[in-house]
Amino acid sequence: DAKTTQPTSMDCAEGRAANLPCNHSTISGNEYVYWYRQIHSQGPQYIIHGLKNNETNEMASLIITEDRKSSTLILPHATLRDTAVYYCIVRAGGTSYGKLTFGQGTILTVHP
């Protein structure tokens, strides 16, 4: 699976959009970009994933660059409860081996 690079930490004001970047310059054509988050000591929570098109769901939007070497997770109206560690994971989808490799992630702090 391709390696990802994320900023160690970011801050965001409550109610504003949080834009979390992820670099995955070695991504392969069959690899998806997944985003998970982990609120302190809780189980990781799936947010969104995509291959090459931008994706949106009730939680967030995922913007993938045309060359697929980077992506941005957007939380459109961050709340205090969005404070968490956000993980960007790149891996082939639907493969027989389901291991997720969680890196260090980005600590997002949403403040009032």
Binding site for another protein (CB under 8 A): 34, 36, 41-46, 49, 91, 93-96, 98-104
**Residue 112 Cβ vs another protein, minimum distance, rounded to whole Å:** 27
CA 9, chain centre distance (Å): 13
Q: Residue 87 is encoded by which pair of tokens?
A: 């993980």
For residue 94, which amino acid is it?
A: G
Which of residues 65 and 102 has its CB atom nearest to another protein in the complex?
102
Q: Taking the complex as a whole, how short is the minimal distance between the CB of residue 98 and another protein, in angstroms?
A: 5
Instruction: Show the CA angle centred on residue 63, arms to residues 34 and 36, nearest 5°.
Output: 25
Q: How far is the CB of 46 from another protein (least distance, A)?
A: 5
